[in-house]
């Protein structure tokens, strides 16, 4: 393994095989998808965001199980919580870590970056960047509770609230003082949501300001972008979000290319439907195990749009994928996709 761009990391007492992570992605980073990314090379994965208060009021974890559940074999994994009350975080973390399965998670991640209106109106997610004292209390309370179980706490931040309130460096220092074991910095402000380009310079500023591992996040979608992120910012880890949707192979592409001396390894892997379909079906079947066929198929339709993106003249296939109502209908769409791609290859 090249030591320049791909290397093991340590977060608190947790050793990670490498410095690549699958970002928390609501609607995507669940038990059906994370293990696939892990197998393709993600050194760490993170659950979808889960409400700390919701966990406090969910005596048997019934309502939140689908967000929290993981397979011990997919570790290292972080469970991500959001909220605005330090007491909720303490209570939720204690309940999670006392649970026989959930307590085997590797670490707890605190969401301080979610831009969604409903969340920030409640003072949660990215709104915590506007209340740094409260953010620090939440981190302290979480670190104290998780620490009693020997679990590290990490924090995911944005650049700031908006261009007039860029305070990631200040908050990162507060997070480190409050006991955070690692940070992720998404180089956009809350006002930007997911638009525009991520500002990587702020990520470099945070990295220079703290002594704990920092993951850079925002717009990493290729080996060249990954290398550029490390060169420009000096970050320890790379967290990949949207580029992994419908594309868990991004992790094998990155591990192969970043670990190789040969620049040819940067070439995109050129996957065919024959490579992709078994993985898509594995994803679908895991979703069916989790949610039952009808919900799983509805959820999978959104993922299929990502899996099918880049298909030459793929609008018709995508339209049919969006209308599929059962596993067998998805199977039929994928088979037609395979045939269509074969024909396209013959003619091009
Ligand atoms: C659909 C979607 C869902 C997301 N869900 C979460 C989440 O649950 N928790 C979180 O911290 N960030 C969440 N994010 C933000 C990503 O983790 C990541 O910070 C962001 O997409 C930027 O990285 P990227 O350019 O690699 O996608 C979400 C982003 C998207 C697009």
Domains contained in the chain, number: 2
Overall pTM surpassing 0.75 (yes/no): yes
Q: From the CA of 23, how far away is ligand 1's center (Å)?
A: 6
Give Cβ neighbours of residue 335 (< 8 Å, ≥ 6 apart).
none
Looking at the fold, whether 227 and 139 belong to one and the same domain comes out as: yes
Nearest to 206 by CA among 156, 138, 151: 156
Which pLDDT does position 3 carry in this prediction? 59
Q: Is 56 among the residues known to form the active site?
A: no
Pocket lining: 92 vs ligand 1, CB cutoff 6 Å: no
Give Cβ neighbours of residue 65 (< 8 Å, ≥ 6 apart).
none
Which pLDDT does position 346 carry in this prediction? 72
Distance of CA 34 to the CA centre of its chain: 9
Which pLDDT does position 93 carry in this prediction? 98
Which pLDDT does position 1 carry in this prediction? 46
Looking at the fold, whether 251 and 278 belong to one and the same domain comes out as: no
Pocket lining: 50 vs ligand 1, CB cutoff 6 Å: no
Domain final residue pick, 263, 291, 316 = 263
Looking at the fold, whether 55 and 137 belong to one and the same domain comes out as: yes
Q: From the CA of 239, how far away is ligand 1's center (Å)?
A: 10
Domain final residue pick, 263, 288, 316 = 263
Nearest to 107 by CA among 180, 27, 211: 180
- Report the alpha-carbon distance of residue 167 to residue 169 in Å, rounded: 5
Which pLDDT does position 292 carry in this prediction? 97
Looking at the fold, whether 310 and 247 belong to one and the same domain comes out as: no
Pocket lining: 158 vs ligand 1, CB cutoff 6 Å: no
Range of the domain at 306: 273-347
Nearest to 94 by CA among 141, 47, 136: 141
Q: Which ranges of 195-292 would DSSP assign to H, the alpha helix?
A: 200-209, 223-233, 250-258, 273-291
- The reply to whether 2 falls in a domain is no
- The reply to whether 133 falls in a domain is yes
Q: What are the residue ranges in the chain where pLDDT is below 70?
A: 1-3, 347-348
In sequence order, the β-bridge partners of residue 11 are: 14
Looking at the fold, whether 69 and 112 belong to one and the same domain comes out as: yes
Looking at the fold, whether 223 and 160 belong to one and the same domain comes out as: yes
């Amino acid at each position: 393994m090249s030591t320049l761009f791909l290397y093991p990391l340590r977060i608190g007492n947790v050793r990670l095989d490498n410095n690549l992570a699958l970002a928390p992605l609501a609607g995507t980073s669940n038990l059906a998808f994370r293990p696939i990314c892990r197998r393709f090379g993600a050194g760490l994965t993170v659950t979808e965001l889960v409400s700390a208060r919701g966990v406090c009021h969910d005596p048997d974890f019934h309502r939140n199980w689908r967000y929290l559940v993981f397979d011990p074999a997919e570790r290292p994994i972080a469970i991500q919580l959001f909220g605005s009350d330090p007491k909720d975080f303490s209570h939720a973390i204690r309940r999670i870590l006392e649970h026989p399965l959930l307590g085997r998670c590797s670490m707890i991640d605190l969401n301080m970056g979610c831009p969604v209106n409903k969340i920030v109106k409640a003072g949660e997610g990215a709104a915590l960047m506007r209340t740094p004292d409260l953010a620090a209390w939440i981190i302290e309370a979480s670190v104290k509770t998780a620490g009693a179980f020997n679990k590290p706490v990490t924090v995911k931040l944005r650049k700031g609230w908006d261009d007039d309130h860029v305070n990631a460096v200040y908050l990162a220092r507060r997070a480190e003082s409050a006991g955070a074991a690692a940070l992720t910095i998404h180089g956009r402000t809350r006002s930007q949501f997911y638009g525009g380009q991520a500002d990587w310079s702020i990520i470099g500023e945070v990295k220079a300001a703290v002594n704990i591992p920092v993951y850079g996040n925002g717009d990493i979608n290729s080996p060249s972008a990954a290398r550029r992120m490390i060169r420009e910012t000096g970050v320890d880890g790379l967290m990949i979000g949207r580029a992994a949707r419908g594309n868990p192979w991004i992790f094998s592409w990155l591990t192969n290319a970043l670990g190789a001396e040969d620049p040819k390894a940067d070439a995109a892997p050129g996957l065919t439907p024959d490579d992709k379909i078994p993985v898509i079906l594995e994803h679908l079947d895991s979703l069916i195990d989790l949610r039952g066929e009808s919900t799983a198929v509805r959820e999978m339709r959104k993922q299929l749009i990502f899996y099918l993106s880049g298909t030459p003249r793929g609008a018709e296939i995508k339209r049919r994928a969006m209308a599929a109502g059962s596993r067998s209908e998805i199977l039929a769409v994928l088979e037609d996709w395979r045939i269509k791609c074969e024909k396209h290859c013959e003619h091009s």
